[in-house]
């Protein structure tokens, strides 16, 4: 952070912590840190993946959100039943904008909401019969469905329904995978455990399905893992890989299908974008099928070029030459983007607070635009995420894990960033405080942001937000001092 030293950042953290009672302060202190690149292991400076303090405002989700909303939901040719009361599915329906191609309701089901709509009698007498009926109905109404996943909501675990038995019976009956997922919301401290549970369910019920089938493979088969195609992200990543001469066999799970996932064990390399939500399955595939995996980053031209070269290094010289060609091909395009937006965004400060991979992955894209990330934090990261983050951000940058509403506001008041990237729950607070804001969970209804095509959109969106004329109108005209007014008119003219 250019304008704050390590001591100043530490002092700021102490000052913000002052407001808490002793016990809460002790706990929260472990989650806030000033980045120090000399620290080798993040657990020495920041604690993560712990239960949130009662009484503070947290922005985390639940295990069901991690499983149904993130990992399973985007698989387009399966029906994902929100098993339990109606709300969880209804309020999360289609919110994440995982784009896909297909005819919704015929062969794809991404934006539809299927729920068993638990009533009192289902809680009292159990909901297994209802689930059976529901699966039969789905089979009847949507014969093109490739499989069904049962995403448990809290009551399923509480009343002890045996969804595994139902799933087993129905798998046999319909000859299609019915996957029970034990992702009850109360499990774990955040959505992160939901990702893990979902990965385990894929491992147990999907991955091995085609082990004994022949597959015409090429030496260039890869799978995109952990790209959820938000606003078309996976598509703008996929074309780069295909231009390099690689064959993308599967997309996990944005615009992905069940057969694609079943074929993933046949690929030569797993490319993993969102490390947090899908490293588990990559590790498993490495062990069982000896498929190496690597993390890559498709945000901003610098990181894209770096990643393309790193990916190409796994393959032969043709691919390596192709990677250079791809970078060259898009060079004029991204240089024009930088030339246009960099002067408008140079030196602006950004604070991020998102989940998954973005708090560290998008830093490169901001830096390409001359912007500076002065604070970053994760909702549900583990230590391994912070291990990776420490190297990405500058010294003395503010790091906050599972930040509370109060802390985030105080940090913003003091650090005074020019842009905040966070979720919808924070958006209006900061906009009312007069700070430009981008909702970075689903790209503020824009996107894609991955790849070279995405970078152009990313740059445009950041400029549109930071340099929006509305930020000069935060004060009512009659409250403005006369001098400032003339200045403002002069500036805008």
Q: Report the distance separating Cα 56 and Cα 92, nearest Å.
A: 23
Tell whether the torsion through CA atoms of 407, 413, 416 and 422 is positive or negative.
positive
Q: Tell the smallest beta-carbon distance from residue 49 to other proteins (Å).
A: 6
Angle, CA of 25, 429 and 348, to the nearest 5° = 90
Binding map of other proteins across residues 19-58, x = CB under 8 A, - = no contact: ---------------------xx-------x---------
Q: Of 96, 110, 98, 150, which is closest to residue 127 (Cα–Cα)?
A: 150
If binding is defined by CB under 8 A, does position 60 make contact with other proteins?
Answer: no
Is residue 195 part of the annotated active site? The answer reads: yes
Concatenate the DSSP letters of all residues of 10-31 into one string: HHHHHHHHTTS-HHHHHHHHTT
Question: How far apart are the two ends of the chain, measured CA to CA in Å?
Answer: 33
Q: Which one, 128 or 387, has the nearer CB to other proteins?
A: 387
Catalytic option among 33, 34, 63, 65: 65
Which of these is catalytic: 33, 34, 62, 312?
A: 62
Count of CB atoms situated within 10 Å of the CB of 314: 16
The nearest distance, CB 28 to other proteins, in angstroms, is 19
Q: Can you tell me which of 287, 477, 492, 493 binds other proteins, judged by CB under 8 A?
A: 287
**Which among 28, 83, 96, 360 is annotated as catalytic?**
96
Q: Based on the residue annotation, tell me whether 65 is a catalytic residue of this protein.
A: yes
Quickly count: other Cβ atoms within 10 Å of residue 483's Cβ: 8
User: How deeply is 30 buried, as exposed, middle or buried, from its count of CB atoms within 10 A (0-12, 13-18, 19+)?
Assistant: middle
The residue to which tokens 């990965």 are assigned: 199
Kindly identify the residues of this chain, within the stretch 359-398, that bind other proteins according to CB under 8 A. Answer: 382-384, 387
**Does 62 participate in catalysis according to the annotation?**
yes
Cβ closer to other proteins: 51 or 121? 51
Shortest distance, CB of residue 193 to other proteins, whole angstroms? Answer: 9
Minimum CB separation of residue 349 from other proteins in Å reads: 31
Task: Verify whether residue 336 is a known catalytic residue.
Answer: no
**Can residue 196 be called a binding residue for other proteins (CB under 8 A)?**
yes
Name which of 102, 103, 107 is nearest 144 in CA terms. 107
User: What's the min distance (Å) between Cβ of 283 and other proteins?
Assistant: 6
Closer to other proteins by CB, 385 or 410: give it.
Answer: 385
Tell me the pairing of strands 247-253 and 269-272: unpaired
Cβ within 8 Å of residue 320, ≥6 positions away? 309, 312, 313
- Nearer Cβ to other proteins, position 117 or 384? 384
Tokens of 127: 């909901």
For residues 83 and 196, which CB has a smaller minimum distance to other proteins in the complex? 196
Binding other proteins (rule: CB under 8 A), the pick from 15, 286, 335, 346 is 286
CB of 277 to other proteins, least distance (A): 14
Residue 280 contacts other proteins per CB under 8 A:
yes
By CB under 8 A, the count of residues binding other proteins is 12
> How far apart (Å, rounded) are the C-alpha atoms in residues 203 and 209?
10
Active site residues: 62, 65, 96, 195
Positions in the binding site for other proteins (CB under 8 A) = 40-41, 49, 196, 280, 283, 286-287, 382-384, 387
């Amino acid at each position: 952070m250019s304008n704050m030293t390590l001591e100043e950042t530490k002092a700021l953290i102490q000052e913000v912590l002052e407001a808490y009672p002793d016990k809460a302060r002790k706990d929260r202190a472990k989650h806030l840190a000033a980045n120090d690149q000399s620290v080798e292991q993040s657990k020495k400076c920041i604690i993560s993946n712990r239960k949130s303090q009662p009484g503070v405002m947290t922005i985390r989700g639940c295990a069901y959100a991690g499983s149904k909303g993130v990992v399973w939901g985007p698989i387009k040719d399966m029906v994902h039943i929100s098993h339990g009361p109606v709300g969880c599915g209804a309020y999360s329906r289609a919110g994440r904008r995982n784009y896909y191609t297909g005819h919704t309701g015929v062969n794809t089901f991404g934006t539809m909401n299927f729920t068993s709509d638990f009533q009192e009698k289902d809680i009292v007498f159990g909901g297994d019969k209802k689930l059976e009926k529901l699966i039969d109905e789905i089979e009847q109404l949507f014969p093109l469905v490739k499989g069904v996943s049962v995403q448990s909501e809290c009551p399923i675990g509480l009343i002890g329904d045996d969804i595994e038995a139902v799933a087993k019976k129905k798998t046999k009956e319909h000859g299609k995978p019915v996957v029970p997922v034990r992702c009850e919301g109360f499990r774990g401290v955040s959505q992160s455990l939901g990702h893990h549970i979902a990965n385990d369910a894929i491992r147990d019920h999907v991955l091995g399905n085609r082990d004994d089938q022949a597959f015409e493979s090429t030496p260039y088969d890869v799978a995109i893992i952990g790209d959820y195609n938000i606003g078309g992200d996976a598509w703008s990543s996929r074309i780069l890989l295909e231009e390099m001469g690689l064959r993308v066999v599967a997309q996990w799970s944005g615009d992905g299908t069940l057969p694609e996932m079943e074929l993933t064990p046949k690929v030569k390399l797993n490319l993993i974008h969102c490390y947090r939500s899908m490293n588990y399955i990559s590790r498993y595939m490495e062990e069982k099928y000896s498929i190496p995996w690597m993390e890559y980053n498709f945000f901003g031209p610098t990181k894209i070029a770096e990643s393309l070269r790193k990916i190409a290094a796994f393959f032969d010289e043709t691919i390596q030459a192709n990677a250079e060609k791809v970078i060259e091909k898009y060079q004029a395009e991204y240089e024009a983007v930088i030339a246009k937006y960099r002067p408008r965004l140079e030196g602006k400060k950004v604070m991020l607070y998102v989940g998954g991979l973005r708090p560290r992955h998008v830093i490169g894209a901001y830096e390409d635009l001359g912007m500076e990330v002065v604070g970053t934090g994760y909702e549900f990261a583990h230590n391994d995420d912070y291990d990776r983050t420490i190297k990405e951000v500058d010294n003395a940058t503010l790091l906050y894990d599972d930040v509370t509403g109060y802390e985030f506001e105080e940090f913003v008041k003091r650090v005074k960033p020019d842009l905040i990237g966070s979720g919808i729950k924070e958006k209006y607070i900061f906009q009312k405080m007069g700070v430009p804001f981008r909702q970075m969970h689903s790209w503020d209804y824009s996107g894609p942001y991955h790849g070279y095509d995405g970078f152009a959109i990313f740059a445009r969106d950041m400029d549109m937000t930071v340099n929006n004329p509305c930020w000069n109108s935060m004060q009512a005209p009659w409250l403005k001092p006369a001098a400032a007014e003339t200045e403002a008119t002069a500036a805008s003219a």
